Structure 1
């Protein structure tokens, strides 16, 4: 073959050339890759934001599955069902939401395959290419992954130091689109663990009104409060003002993944009926419905043990948060700072400005400790001197050892 002779593209190369432009915005999740480390017993991993399987309500789920697959019940559990979701589960969720001051009916609720699917639906419904999505800085990388496929432009939502509304709108118009929504997790946010005060939540609502955009309230960690007083969800605050959920612009995303079971993939959306109706159409076209048997199992377990199980998680995870904060105070060198959450699963660490979290991870792995570098949580990949630590998966002694190792690695890089 001569040097200037061209080779024909392979079949796979021809196929990839046909991919839509939006696929260039899709990136592998750093967290999903790091979760593979959990299979290595010598690694102390603070990487995955996952619940401890030792505290799954296994007996309750075993009973629920037996009941669901009984002779009479199996015709429902193993059959197709409505796209909106299993009615007894939606009714339980409506009652649950009322605890937090959110009055809604089952018609305001859609069951999804985890709240991650709901985030994808949000992107599909709202985002045209070059529209603006307002996100916290940093924000949940799974949300960025879900939205990226729809080719948005990102801008910041900051309840404390927002730019003038006119500037945000002007920038969005210059980019060729509109401001469509503000996405945030007000309770124990992933990745920072920060919680917004009621005043800050009202500021978000006022800003959304001024921008005439939706508010996406990701409440995945709402139940995992270990200290302090409960703060009303953004949707509850808006309902106080407007009196009717169908007049509200806030879309609430809930999940059983952090409380009962992540593997069953059951989450939910609470919103005005027109939003739910549009999401139902997307679900019908996408996967028809969330698995019926999974919904039934979640419903049975939620009805029987939800409150007592969550109380156990709060005690266990709250102790682990205390252990991590104590270990950080003991082992981190000068120049390192971290958040002090009241709940959730994460502590956010800021390193000296000249350090890179991704480079630090490579050194930390040599010491058999893992975490998630922080740049992946920023829409622009900035703030590389940050990292996220998870405490829910490790007992206190392992947290102490892992933070001691990490502190030694950081100290060696100063």
Structure 2
């Protein structure tokens, strides 16, 4: 027997809302869904008339529904917003390259300009290359850090007032659980904020903060929106997956647990004696950071120096690794200088009793002179040093080994000086 729509519109219900349990027809569900997001936007004062807003678009259900809903509400309630799409290409073969095609379809469907930035252009690395260096255990750390900063860089290029992200209620509840399990007090305090960003930075807003993931899927399904649903090939190893599994188990027992967890995070207070890191500006890339050098620059420096684990774990561990690396590089430079000096002396020849110390097979002792012995000792020293510092012997002159310790090329990537993009950070 058909169930009538709970609003009394006279139509039969087509679905039961996961968030409230109400039986609604499709049209009433659309209206309730969009009205709740409109209420979130107006209550949180997320936008101002005339603002340029970049929608962080990945091609997934959340960003697709966000773009569609913002366009709809912008026209219905006359927000006066200038909406555009901002997408980040992480360089994940078989995932991001396909999802970007969906983003381009959204661009055409919603008539919004699209800007795509890639990790390769911004940092000189793709996620495929990073995973090849570090493995699959900590790859989400690199991707998350680089993606957050890439959005900031893209927003700066577009000159927008804020970035609208597709974080939904499930995402925020998962983040609360993750921060509780990790004891991350600083992130726990700000992860439920609907607007994030310090003074002088481009803020991020979450219009879908109180929207359930299941309802987003239902909205996209009944609206027949085009979105990309394949999971990232590196995501199964993410720590967030365990928090998501826990949340889904809790939701089966108590559907309201998602909102309860968010409310707990919003009302949680921190003891006064607990010191929290203050946001500042990174001395290298000039983007927001809680330390002198931001996490993105630390991770990038580790990749460029062959220390992919540099930014993983505690900062004290990273400092120790850098000190050991710099000590090794300084020692290597001194060794190379010594080898260069030896090479120059051998070429010029040492004068002994007014004569040069060069072996002449016509007049000398068939290779048994002091000069030949010195050459053998020098070659033995060079070979042992090459082995010690893991340098392969080549046909190039010894002085060209200085390229091994040249880090100037890595500096431009770490500081984010992107001539090709016309931006100097």
TM-score, scaled to structure 2: 0.30
**Which protein, 1 or 2, shows the higher relative CO under an 8 Å CA cutoff with sep ≥ 6?**
1
Q: Which has the larger radius of gyration?
A: 2
TM-score, scaled to structure 1: 0.30
